[in-house]
Amino acid sequence: MPQPSKFTEKELVDGCIRNDRACQEILYRKYFSRMMSMVFRYTTDREIAMEIVNNGFLRVFKKLDTFGFKGSLEGWIRKLVYHSVSEYFKKHSKYLQFLVFEEKEKQTEDNTLSQLFVEDILKMVETLPPATKEVFRLYAIEGYSHIEISKEVNISIGTSKWHLSTARKQLQQLLTNNNNFQLHAG
């Protein structure tokens, strides 16, 4: 099998579009661990994570002909894998765990969280201030570390952590006052 470095990104994408199994394997191996890391923010069950990632890559291979090289390939793949995360938890809502709140404080929050769907959570995230929302999105949704966020957004690691903490506090407040949001019927 050819080495990944022997292909440009364009050649790799074109090969995948042509259904070249070697190119598909290279693409899968190149991004697999990063996508698993992102998915592990939503579930610690390895089998579920594998199912989500594999469904995500299936989406990638089906839609690769729509990738226009207008952004990063990794970002585009992350977006499609994230859609698989969302789809999985919509389908299996009894497993929905809102990972934003890594430390659950109250039983009432647990009950509220179990009634939320991904769209509801994302609706709440949209109300955050722009910089806080961006850090939250990169950390909680796309799986970036604080070091990666600091480089991506050109802020310090401490500032990244502050924005994440602020996002969590504001989202917890929104959950407490969730009557401001129209929740999906569970």
What is the three-class DSSP state of 24? helix
Question: In this predicted structure, what is the pLDDT of residue 50?
Answer: 95
Question: In this predicted structure, what is the pLDDT of residue 89?
Answer: 72
Question: In this predicted structure, what is the pLDDT of residue 141?
Answer: 65
Question: Does 100 fall in a domain?
Answer: no
156/162 Cα distance (integer angstroms): 10
Judge residue 98's burial from the number of C-beta atoms within 10 Å of its C-beta, 0-12 exposed, 13-18 middle, 19 or more buried.
buried
**pLDDT tens across the length of the chain (186 residues):** 445 568 889 999 999 999 999 999 999 999 999 999 988 877 777 898 999 999 999 999 999 999 988 888 999 999 899 888 878 877 765 433 344 444 334 334 444 444 555 656 767 887 899 999 888 877 876 667 899 899 989 999 999 999 999 988 888 888 777 654 444 333
As given in the structure block, the two tokens for residue 180 are 């401001």
Looking at the fold, whether 111 and 172 belong to one and the same domain comes out as yes
Looking at the fold, whether 114 and 90 belong to one and the same domain comes out as no
Looking at the fold, whether 140 and 89 belong to one and the same domain comes out as no
First to last CA, the chain: 48
Contact yes or no for 64/16 (Cβ under 8 A): yes
Question: Does 176 fall in a domain?
Answer: yes
How many structural domains compose the chain? 2
Question: Does 186 fall in a domain?
Answer: no
Half-sphere exposure of 168 (CA within 13 A, CB side): 16
As given in the structure block, the two tokens for residue 111 are 């009950």
Question: Does 37 fall in a domain?
Answer: yes
End-of-domain residue from the set 95, 128, 152: 95
Q: Could you write out the DSSP letters of every residue in 148-173?
A: HHHHHHT--HHHHHHHHHHHHHHHHH
As given in the structure block, the two tokens for residue 5 are 């470095």
* CATH code where residue 156 lies: 1.10.10.10
Question: In this predicted structure, what is the pLDDT of residue 98?
Answer: 42
13/73 Cα distance (integer angstroms): 9
Residue 162 structural domain: 107-180
Looking at the fold, whether 25 and 47 belong to one and the same domain comes out as yes
Question: In this predicted structure, what is the pLDDT of residue 118?
Answer: 61
Q: Is 69 left (phi over 0), alpha (psi -120 to 50) or beta?
A: left
Looking at the fold, whether 136 and 58 belong to one and the same domain comes out as no
Question: In this predicted structure, what is the pLDDT of residue 183?
Answer: 42
* CATH code where residue 44 lies: 1.10.1740.10
Question: Does 102 fall in a domain?
Answer: no
Looking at the fold, whether 136 and 82 belong to one and the same domain comes out as no
Question: Does 10 fall in a domain?
Answer: yes
Question: Does 32 fall in a domain?
Answer: yes
Looking at the fold, whether 69 and 124 belong to one and the same domain comes out as no
Looking at the fold, whether 80 and 160 belong to one and the same domain comes out as no
End-of-domain residue from the set 67, 95, 123: 95
Count Cβ atoms below 10 Å from residue 3 Cβ, excluding itself: 7
Cα-trace Rg, the chain: 18
End-of-domain residue from the set 63, 95, 127: 95
